[in-house]
């Protein structure tokens, strides 16, 4: 209500008096702050003469704004636009936007609210708030399954897509257009997804794989020949813990050491939590050579004589300890010497135990036979030809000497005769030169016997004889 009426009066007599009819109400003076409408004024002069006139006040149309909105098609872009159309009021118009623009049409807008402030030529102001919307952003998620074993093609990618405008198209960098991928090797996989508006989303997915299984092995040999303390220790890296281990075709176990092993070849297998296997390894558990002691043949000495026993020993490790026994015997010259001198007064057995540098032991024994003056005689030759003279190999000696056993051997060591529990000087107890009902050829034969002497002692005797035909 800012209208005004300026009235010009001519003629009549001064002074003039004005009477207005404003909104049906009489008013005097000159009205101001008028709204558009019809006004009636009556002028009275000094002679009371009157004149009436009607005045019409007009106003321009209301200043109005309309906006054409172009929304953002792809989330996050700046492709929105607002096209403003002012109307009414009094042109020209002055436009100012809340983002600082001053043209009726603005573009390259991101999603959001924008307010237009428009002033016409009369300073009339109108404002309008417009919102540029955008479609929901393309949201791409995926479940990535790693490769189970190093070098396999068992990985997979399962995707899930939302937002944008369906339908969607999928484009993998390696050429596939599938939504999901399987039978993948380890590596990076790039996916470009496009919706119906041409909006895109790119993601890179990494299919991982465990490190290659690697096995380090330490093998401890058996300490002593025919022992059972060999050991195989395994150190595994890579793959997927926990690991399980197998020796030969035995059960799978969680312990990485196999103990109490004998010498030999073993097949060792390793499998991880995903069932990945390391190539089966053939492992050899070694053992040292056996300790072999050779004390020589049984010794026969005359009563009062001595004998030196010098052992011949072979093995992997040097001998560090000798132990002769019986350790409480007065007839053994030394109990921890490499060789020993003995002087028994009757038949004795001498034992030697040795220990090598690896702690392995071995034992051997030798018999010391002491001969005394109890005449035992076996002929150095006989002629088994049935002539009644020297037909049998007979054991001769003093009465009272009992022969516990009497044996004859050929030159190859085969026993060809044995008789037991008989007395000396008995031709019927001797050998007739036959073996298995067959006459043996002429030659030299060895004999051994054990006799029980009159004093109760038992002694060994041996010698050789010649069979003559």
Q: Is the pLDDT of residue 305 over 90?
A: no
pLDDT score, position 328: 75
Question: DSSP 3-state assignment of 384?
Answer: coil
| Residues 81, 78: Cα–Cα separation, whole Å | 9
Q: What is the rounded CA–CA span in Å between residue 79 and residue 34?
A: 48
Give the pLDDT band (50/70/90) at residue 60: confident
Q: Given this model, what pLDDT does residue 455 score? A: 67
At 32, the pLDDT band (50, 70, 90 cuts) reads: confident
* DSSP secondary structure letter of residue 34: B
Residue 347: phi and psi, rounded to 5, are -60, 130
Q: What is the pLDDT of residue 138?
A: 94
pLDDT, mean of residues 16-38: 74
Q: Which of 169, 163, 168, 171 is nearest to 139 (CA)?
A: 163
For the chain, percent of residues with pLDDT exceeding 90: 79
Do residues 157 and 197 both lie within one domain? Answer: yes
User: What is the domain count for the chain?
Assistant: 5
Residue 187 lies in a domain: yes
Q: What is the mean pLDDT of the chain?
A: 93
- Kindly tell me if the per-residue pLDDT of 25 is higher than 60: no
Is 303 contained in some domain? Answer: yes
Q: Which pLDDT does position 453 carry in this prediction?
A: 84
Chosen domain end from 313, 344, 371: 371
- Residues 176-204 have a mean pLDDT of 96
Cα(211)–Cα(148) distance, integer angstroms: 10
**Whole-angstrom distance, CA of residue 182 vs CA of residue 211:** 20
Q: Does the residue 447 lie in any domain?
A: yes
pTM higher than the cut 0.75:
no
Domain boundary among 132, 160, 187: 132
Mean local confidence (pLDDT), 26-47: 79
Domain that holds residue 186: 139-207
* CATH code, domain with 147: 2.60.40.1080
Residue 82 inside a domain? The answer is yes
| C-beta separation of 374 from 398 below 8 A | yes
Q: How far apart are CA 328 and CA 310, in angstroms?
A: 20
In a domain, 32, yes or no: no
pLDDT band at 440 (very low <50, low <70, confident <90, very high): very high
Q: What is the pLDDT of residue 398?
A: 78
Q: In this structure, what are the phi and psi dihedrals at residue 371, rounded to the nearest 5 degrees?
A: -90, 135
In which residue are the tokens 């909006």 written? Answer: 199
Banded model confidence at residue 373, pLDDT cuts 50, 70, 90 = low
Query: What pLDDT is recorded for position 247?
Result: 97
CATH at 394: 2.60.40
Q: Are residues 231 and 191 both part of a single domain? A: no
pLDDT category at 303 given cuts 50, 70, 90 is low
**Residues 217-237: what's their mean pLDDT?**
97
Residues 384 and 456 in one domain: yes
Higher per-residue pLDDT: 246 or 305 = 246
Note whether 171 and 117 are same-domain residues. no
Residue of 244, 313, 230, 232 lying closest to 276 (CA atoms): 244
Asked if 198 and 220 sit in the same domain, the reply is: no
pLDDT mean over 339-362: 94
Look at strands 319-325 and 348-356 and give their pairing: antiparallel
Q: 132, 160, 186: which is the final residue of a domain?
A: 132
If DSSP codes are grouped into helix, strand and coil, which group holds residue 428? Answer: helix
Got the DSSP string for 235-285?
A: EEESS-SSPEEEETT---BS-SEEEEEPSEEEEEEEE-TTS-EEEEEEEEE
434 pLDDT more than 90? yes
What pLDDT was estimated at residue 37? 82
Alpha helices in 253-390 (DSSP H): none
Rounded CA-CA distance 460/400 in Å is 16
Q: Is residue 51 part of a domain?
A: no
167 in the same domain as 187: yes
pLDDT at 443 over 90: yes
CB contact burial 4-34 (16+ within 10 A = b; e otherwise): eeeeeeeebeeeeeeebbeeeeeeeeebeeb
Residue-wise DSSP of 107-172? EEEPSEEEEEEEE-TT--EEEEEEEE-BPPPPEEEEEEEPPSSTT---EEEEEEEESS-S--EEEE
pLDDT in tens, 375-413: 789 999 999 998 989 999 999 987 778 999 999 999 999
| Distances from the Cα of 421 to the Cα of 374, 375, 453, angstroms | 18, 18, 13
How remote is the C-alpha of 159 from its chain's centroid? Answer: 29
Do 117 and 74 belong to one domain? yes
Shortest CA distance to 159 belongs to which of 193, 209, 115?
A: 193
Non-local CB neighbours of 108 within 8 Å, separated by 6+ positions = 78, 79, 80, 81
3-state secondary structure of 362: strand
What number is the average pLDDT over the span 154-177? 96
Asked whether residue 434 is assigned to any structural domain, the reply reads: yes
Report the SS3 class of residue 40.
Answer: strand
Residue 129 has pLDDT above 90, yes or no: yes
């Amino acid at each position: 209500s800012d209208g005004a009426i300026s009235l010009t009066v001519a003629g009549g007599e001064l002074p003039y008096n004005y009477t207005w009819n404003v909104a049906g109400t009489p008013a005097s003076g000159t009205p101001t702050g008028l709204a558009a409408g019809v006004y009636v004024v009556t002028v009275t002069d000094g002679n009371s003469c009157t004149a009436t006139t009607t005045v019409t006040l007009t106003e321009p149309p209301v200043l109005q704004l309309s906006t054409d909105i172009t929304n953002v098609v792809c989330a996050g872009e700046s492709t929105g636009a607002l096209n403003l159309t002012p109307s009414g009021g009094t042109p020209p118009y002055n436009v100012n936007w809340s983002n600082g623009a001053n043209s009726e049409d603005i573009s390259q807008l991101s999603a959001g609210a924008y307010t237009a402030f428009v002033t016409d030529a009369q300073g009339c102001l109108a404002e309008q708030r417009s919102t540029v919307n955008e479609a929901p952003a393309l949201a791409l998620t995926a479940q990535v399954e790693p490769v189970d074993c190093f070098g396999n093609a068992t990985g997979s990618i399962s995707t899930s897509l939302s937002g944008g405008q369906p339908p969607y198209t999928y484009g993998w960098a390696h050429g596939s257009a599938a939504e999901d991928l399987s039978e993948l090797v380890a590596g990076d996989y790039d996916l470009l997804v496009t919706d119906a508006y041409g909006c895109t989303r790119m993601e890179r997915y990494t299919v991982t794989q465990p490190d290659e299984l690697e096995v380090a092995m330490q093998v401890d040999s058996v300490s002593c020949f025919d022992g059972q303390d060999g050991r195989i220790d395994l150190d595994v890296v890579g793959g997927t813990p926990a690991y399980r281990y197998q020796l030969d075709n035995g059960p799978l176990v969680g312990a990485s050491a196999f103990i109490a092993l004998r010498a030999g070849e073993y097949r060792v297998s390793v499998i991880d939590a995903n069932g990945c296997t390391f190539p089966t390894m053939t492992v050899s558990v070694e053992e040292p050579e056996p300790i072999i002691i050779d004390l020589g043949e049984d010794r026969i000495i005359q009563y009062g004589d001595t004998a030196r026993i010098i052992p011949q020993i072979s093995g992997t490790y040097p001998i560090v300890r000798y132990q002769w026994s019986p350790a409480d015997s007065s007839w053994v010259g030394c109990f921890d010497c490499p060789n020993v001198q003995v002087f028994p007064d009757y038949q004795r057995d001498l034992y030697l135990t040795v220990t090598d540098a690896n702690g392995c032991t071995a034992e051997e024994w030798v018999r010391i036979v002491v001969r005394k003056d109890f005449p035992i005689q076996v002929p150095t030759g006989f002629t088994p030809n049935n002539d009644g003279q020297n037909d049998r190999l007979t054991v001769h000696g003093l009465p009272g000497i009992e022969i516990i056993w009497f044996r004859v051997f050929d030159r190859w060591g085969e026993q060809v005769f044995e008789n037991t529990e008989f007395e000396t000087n008995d031709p019927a107890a001797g050998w007739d030169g036959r073996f298995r009902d067959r006459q043996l050829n002429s030659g030299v034969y060895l004999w051994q016997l054990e006799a029980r002497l009159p004093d109760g002692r038992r002694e060994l005797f041996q010698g050789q004889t010649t069979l003559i035909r």
